[in-house]
Structure formats: C-alpha cells, structure tokens
Chains A and B, each alone.
Chain A
Amino acid sequence: MLLVTLLCYVGFAALSLSMPRHYADLAGGTLSTARGRSLKVLGGCALLVSLIVALGLQSTGFALVHWFAALMGSAVSLVFLMSYWPRQALWLAGIVAFVSPIVAFIQLLA
C-alpha cells in the first residue's frame, strides 16, 4: 500500500511538471517540449505501475479500492503542497522517487 501511494505521488508530480505553468512554479525556468513529453510518459508509467503493484498485492476488489484511495490521497496532498509549499512538493517527489525502489525491494524480500 505504501509503495502504491508513493508511486501515485511520483506519477502525479511528473504529470504536473509536464505542464509549462506548474513547471515554472515548481522547478523554475521554461519547459522544453521533449522534457514535457518524457515527464508525461514517466508520470503515466508510474501510475500504471502503481496499479499493477496494487493488483499484485491483493484481490482485485481490494486492490482497486486501495488504488483509487492512493490516487485520490496523493493527488490531493500534491495539489495542497504545490499551492503553499511548491519547493517542498518537488523535494518530496524527488525523495519519494528515490525511496520507492527501496520500498519495492523490501517488499520483495518480505
């Protein structure tokens, strides 16, 4: 569940960065078309992987409920952070992107 939520957060953060306005607010500078596209693909992939992880952990019904919960929870937290602490929102996304492979590794071992 933790991994699913982390992946959702990374996914939404990448998707928001793929929009020029949010990119300027969060990262500063202008967004090149190529980078925008790759961020969009990255975000979409993270969300897709989170769904696959959720489905792998539980029965389909609970997996879908938990995935939607993670989706909504992470999107709301991201938008809240972006509005009041944009820098920290980006930092958090970076940390989460770094941490989630470790969490995935631990979950595989457990």
Chain B
Amino acid sequence: MKEGFRQAMAWLHTWAGLTFGWLLFAIFLTGTLSYFKEEITQWTQPEIVPHQVSAAASVDRAQQWLQQNAGDARRWFINLPDERTPELAVSWTNAKGRFERKSLDSLSGVPVQARESSGGEFFYRFHFQLQMPYPWGRWLASLAAMVMFVALVSGIITHKKIFKEFFTFRPRKGQRTWLDGHNAVAVLVLPFHLMITYSSLVIFMTMIMPLSILTTYGKDTQTFFDDLFPAFKSAPAAGTHATLAPLSPMLEVAREKWPNERVGLVTVNNPGDAGASVTLTASGADHIAHQPGTALTFDGVTGELKNETRMSAASLLLAGGLYGLHMGHFAGPFLRWLYFLCGVGGTAMIGTGLVIWLGKRRLKHARSDVIPFELRLVEMLNIASMSGLMLAIVSFFWANRLLPVGLAGRSDWEVKTFFCVWGLALLHALARVFLRDGRTAWREQLTLAALLFCSLPVLDAVTAGSYLRLSLEQGRWVLPGVDLTALATGLFMAWGALRFRGDGKAALAVRPTTPSTGEPLSPDAPGDRVIATRTPIVQEPR
C-alpha cells in the first residue's frame, strides 16, 4: 500500500514536472534575474547616474518640476531614489486621464535623457505575466506555481532516502550524477523552494483565493483595496484653487514617526486644489514583511498630518511577510546574492529534472539509433527552453546596447529581439533534433550563448565605456558587476558546451557499481528500477 502511494507520487512528480517544467524553468530564471531588477535597469539605462542627495532635496526638486509641467494633473507620484535605484521618478495622470512618466536627475531636477528601455522590469513582468494579456498570463503563472508546489511535495514523498542521502553527490557517473544533483539541489535549498513557491500562491491570493476577502468584506472589495493602499483612496477635488504646501517638511514628520524607515513613495491627490492631500508610503526595503498599508496622510494645503495607518490584521501581516520574503526587497548585497544563487539552484533543479526525464527514456533506445518522435520533441523543447532562453536573455542585453538611441518604440524592440531570438533558437533546436541530433543543438546554442555572454563586457566597454569608467572611478560596482556576472555566466555556458563534445555515448552511461563503497546502485525512484533492470549497461570510456 505504502509503495503504491509512493509510486503514484513518483508518477505525479514525473508528469507534473515534465508538462510544466519548460514554463517553470523560464519563470524561475527570469524571477532569479529580478532579484537584480534595479541593477539590471541601471545597466540598461546608464545615463541615470546616482547622486548623494537627501530625500528632502529630491522631493523639493520633484515638486518644483511637477508644479511647472504637470500643474493640472489629478494625481502625482514621486518615487524617491535609494541606494539601488538612482532614479527620481515622477509620474502623473494628466487632466485627460492619461498616465505619464519622467525620470529626473536627483541633483539638478531636470529630466534625464535616458535611452528608452524596460530593463529589469521586463524580466520581472515576464516572470509572472508571461508577456500575455491580462489576466491570462497571471492565471497561467499561478497555475504553474500550483504545479510547482505539487511537484515539490510529491518529490519529497518520492525521495525515499531524504536523510540518508542528504550529503550525497557522486560526480562523473552519468545519469546517477544528474539524479544526485537534482536531489541535492532540491533538498539542500528546500526551505527556499517551499518559501518561494508557497508565497507566490499567497501573492496571487486575491486572484486565486478570493474567498477569504469575500467573507470579510463581502461585495465591497474596494474597501479591502482602500485598506491595503491608502494612497489610492481618492477624495473628490474641491474645485477651488489653493497652493500646495511644500512636501519636504512632511518628510521630516515621517522621519519622527518612522525612525527606522524611509519614505519610498509620495502621492499627491488633486495638487493645486483646496482638497489636496499628500500620502507618504514607507519604502519596502526596511522590513522583511511587506506592509502596503503603512502610510501617513497630510492635508495638502495646510501640511497638517491628518491620518496615520499601519497594517495590523494578522492575516495580512502573514501574507505581507510571505510577500516580503518572496520579493526580498529587504535584502542587503550579501543576502541578495544568496537569493540569486538560491534562484539559480531552483532553476537548476527544474533543468536537471527535465534532463533526467529524457535521459531515463533515452537509455531504452541506447542500442538502436532510432529515437521515437516524442522523445525528440521533449529534447527539442528542453533545448529551446534552456539554452534558447539563455540566448534570448543575452540578446536582450545586446539589443539594449546596439539599437539606436533615437529609435521609436525602442524598449519594444528590445523585447521583440528577446522573443525573436527565442523563436529562432526553437527553430534551430527543431531542425537539429529532427534532422541530426540533440547534442549538436545543445553544443551550438551553448557555444553561441557563451560567446555572447563573454563578450558582453567588451560590448559594454565599447558602446558605454564612459559610464563604466565613471562608475569605476566613483567606486560603484553595479555596472561592472553586471558585466562580470555576464562573463561568469558565459564561462559556465562554455563549460556546458564542452560537455557536449563527441557522440554522446558517455552521457548516457550508467556504471553498474559505485567504486567508493562497492555496493550496487540502488535506484530510488520506481522509474529508476525499470531502467536498471531493462537497459544494457554502456560503459563510460575511460
């Protein structure tokens, strides 16, 4: 009975993992990149240079500029710069209801002529919207998150020797190594995997689990969102003109009220009107838990503090905690890199899982040269979703540097480049897998990716060398950091490409015994056992 249950779980793990593996790989990889969203944006818009300016000075400049250029707007947003975002972003809804946005230089207060690029925002948006129209992308991403959760839990149940093989990784043993790697990266980083998957479900809670909100707020869901985002609670305009009070003294009040927090966002409703109000929202970077309800509201004309809200509902705090853990806004450089590496681990877990699925089934056909259609199809999708995605990512960065600055719809062209290259990688994988073999496709795509990643620092130095030099002189490591990470990624791709030399017999090999202990290989998963008994053993050439 118990074995039957484990078999069923193994089946679930195998097929849930296969069908959603390709999509999950892309979600995990772009999500991992999103931990460096602001840094990627800095790289893609090097014109926006960080300055050491106080929040009060920034907000004064923003107010001055908005008063002159968007005095008739219904609402202003001022995003204050911090150590990760150099940009002083102002946005407003104009009288016609259209949303506009400019980034100001935080020192001089004039708009920066930065190249148009979505930067890190693209990867972040793709991570949960999948470049699909609202709400379909979010639904698909939520579904993928649920499948991920199912795959994690069923994987834990399937993995019989979770404690006995806790420290086990046996390198250079073909299929065994892949399985060990899959297990090791899954088990050792399990707290991260569970946190990230479960919290992603909580983030979309309002969408996929509306019941908890409906029971408390009934049909009046607007009240729920008003409680959550006090800055957007709209008050009607009085219709009479009144000068807006200066915003920087309000920041002083906020500093007294929140000694350990910074203001991240300033929202002004009805500026220039007698009914104006100003809401200061705390930056998310000072707490683990995301607290969207923490805000101070001021009268826009007298500058008096009118209202102070702080999120208190326990369930929202829990959800906010999971949200905050998922986003990692609070993480300093060290923890941020750990987040990134854990994300890479999750991506590797999905990738190795896909490789194992194919490897096991390929073993059955090791003697004959004919590989059935469905296995070729899986191999093609594996290649396109892994090395193809790496190619697409690197070409996004290349497009950012090579597309002319004045090109209309420039940031769209970057995104188009990303998807075109991904599509081309798919076609290339299709042609190679069905007309030749998958190893050639892997080798060629990884080689190209290695070349593009490794030469990205050179491209950066040639096309935007002045910014790179300036940031090195000032001891800022974001731009060179992105370049060095690209170089490291390129070297990893090159290592991967080298593994695909030769005709591929070595990769399929399974040794009959483990030399260190001499005990016969004990297959864990039921699927393993099938292979171990049925397939001929191909000796790895020494």
Question: In the bound complex, do residue A65 and residue B169 qualify as a contact, i.e. CB atoms below 8 Å apart?
Answer: no
Rounded to whole angstroms, the CA-CA distance of A62 and B289 in the bound complex is 10
Within 8 Å CB of B167, what residues of A?
A: 12, 15-16, 19, 22, 78-79, 82
| A68 with B188: CB separation less than 8 A | no
In the complex, how many angstroms separate the beta carbon of A55 from the nearest chain B beta carbon? 15
The interface-forming segment of A45-53, A69-77, A90-98, A100-108 is A69-77
Assess the A19–B170 pair: CB atoms within 8 A.
no
Given that A65-B288, A82-B169 are contacting pairs, would A76 and B516 also be in contact in the complex, using a CB cutoff of 8 Å? Answer: no
Pair B191/A68 contact, Cβ less than 8 Å: yes
Q: Are B188 and A65 in contact (CB under 8 A)?
A: no
A61 adjacent to chain B (CB < 8 Å): yes
- Cβ of B189 within 8 Å of any chain A Cβ, yes or no, is yes
Contact B164 A69 (CB under 8 A): no
- How long is the Cα–Cα vector from A12 to B325 in the complex, in angstroms? 25
Q: Is B338 an interface residue (CB 8 A)?
A: yes
Closest to B287 in A: A61
- Specify which of A24, A25, A61 is in contact with B289 (CB 8 Å cutoff): A61
Determine if B325 and A21 form an interchain contact, defined as CB atoms under 8 angstroms apart: no
In the complex, whether A88 has a CB less than 8 A from a CB of chain B is: no
Smallest beta-carbon distance A8→chain B, Å: 12
B516 and A25 contacting across the interface, CB-CB below 8 Å: yes
A72 pairs with B335, CB closer than 8 A: no
**Complex partner residue of B188 from A19, A24, A61, A76, CB under 8 angstroms:** A76
A66 at the interface (CB under 8 A from B): yes
Interface hits, B123-181 → A, CB 8 Å: 164, 166-171
Query: How many Å from the CB of A109 to the closest CB on chain B?
Result: 23
- Give the A interface residue count (CB, 8 A): 25
The answer to whether A69 and B170 touch across the interface, beta carbons within 8 angstroms, is no
Chain A residues positioned under 8 Å from B335 (CB to CB): 65-66, 69
What's the nearest-Cβ distance from chain A to residue B318, in Å? 12
A29 to nearest B CB, angstroms?
Answer: 14
Nearest B-chain residue to A72, judged by Cβ: B189
By a CB distance below 8 angstroms, the chain B residues around A19 are 164, 167
Question: In the complex, what residue of chain A is closest to B321 when comparing beta carbons?
Answer: A61
Do A61 and B338 have beta carbons less than 8 Å apart? no
Majority secondary structure, A binding face: helix
Closest residue of chain A to B342 (Cβ to Cβ) is A72
Nearest-neighbour CB distance to chain B for A9, whole angstroms, equals: 12
Tell me if A38 is interfacial: C-beta within 8 Å of chain B.
no
A75 to B335, CA, bound (A): 16
Distance, CA A19 to CA B47, complexed state (A):
56
- Check B342–A83 contact: CB distance below 8 A: no
Q: Is the CB of A84 within 8 A of B288?
A: no
Cross-chain contact A76 with B189 (CB below 8 angstroms): yes
Query: What residues of chain B lie closer than 8 Å to A22, measured between beta carbons?
Result: 167
Chain B 274-303 interface mask (CB, 8 Å, partner A; 1/0) = 000000000000011100000000000000
Q: How far is the CB of B337 from chain A (nearest CB, A)?
A: 10
| A72 with B191: CB separation less than 8 A | yes
Q: Which of A20-72 contact B (CB under 8 A)?
A: 21-22, 24-25, 61-62, 65-66, 68-69, 71-72
- Do the beta carbons of A83 and B189 come within 8 Å of each other? no
The answer to whether residues A84 and B516 also contact, given A19-B164, A69-B338, A76-B188 and a CB cut-off of 8 A, is no
What separation, in Å, do the CA atoms of A78 and B288 have in the docked complex? Answer: 28
B-side contacts of A65, CB under 8 Å: 288, 325, 335
Q: Known contacts A62-B288, A65-B335, A69-B335; is A75 also within 8 Å of B169 by CB?
A: no
Q: Compute how far the CA of A66 lies from the CA of B325 in the bound complex, rounded to whole angstroms.
A: 12
Chain B neighbourhood of A71, CB < 8 A: 191
What residue in chain A is nearest B187 (Cβ atoms)? A75
Q: Mark B338-356, 1 if CB is under 8 A from A, else 0.
A: 1000100100000000000
Taking the complex as formed, is B517 at the interface, i.e. its CB lies under 8 A from any CB of chain A? yes
Answer whether A24 and B288 are a contact pair too, CB < 8 Å, given A71-B191, A75-B188. Answer: no
Q: Whole-angstrom distance from the CB of B421 to the nearest CB of chain A?
A: 32
**CB of B204 closer than 8 Å to a CB of A:** no
Task: Pick from B166, B171, B188, B189 the residue with the most CB of A within 10 Å.
Answer: B188
Contact: A72 with B192, CB < 8 Å? yes
Chain A residues contacting B184 (CB-CB under 8 Å) are 76, 79
Chain B stretch 53-102: residues in CB contact (< 8 A) with chain A: none
Interface string of B5-30 (1 = CB under 8 A from A): 00000000000000000000000000
| Chain A residue contacts of B189, Cβ below 8 A | 72, 76
Report the bound CA distance from A75 to B169 in whole Å.
12
* A4: min CB distance to chain B, Å: 13
Contact, CB under 8 Å: A24 / B191: no
Which of B167, B169, B184, B330 neighbours the largest number of chain A CB atoms within 10 Å of its CB?
Answer: B167
Complexed CA–CA distance, A65 and B330 (Å):
11
**B288-A21 in contact (CB<8A):** no
A-B contact pairs, 17 of them (CB 8 A): A21-B517, A22-B167, A24-B516, A24-B517, A61-B321, A65-B325, A68-B191, A69-B338, A72-B189, A72-B192, A72-B342, A76-B184, A79-B184, A79-B188, A83-B170, A83-B171, A84-B171
B residues near A, CB below 8 A? 164, 166-171, 184, 188-189, 191-192, 287-289, 321, 325, 330, 335, 338, 342, 345, 516-517
New A-B pairs, 5, CB < 8 Å, besides A12-B167, A22-B167, A72-B338: A19-B167, A61-B287, A62-B330, A65-B335, A79-B168
The 4 closest A-B pairs by CB, nearest first: A16-B167, A83-B169, A61-B288, A75-B188
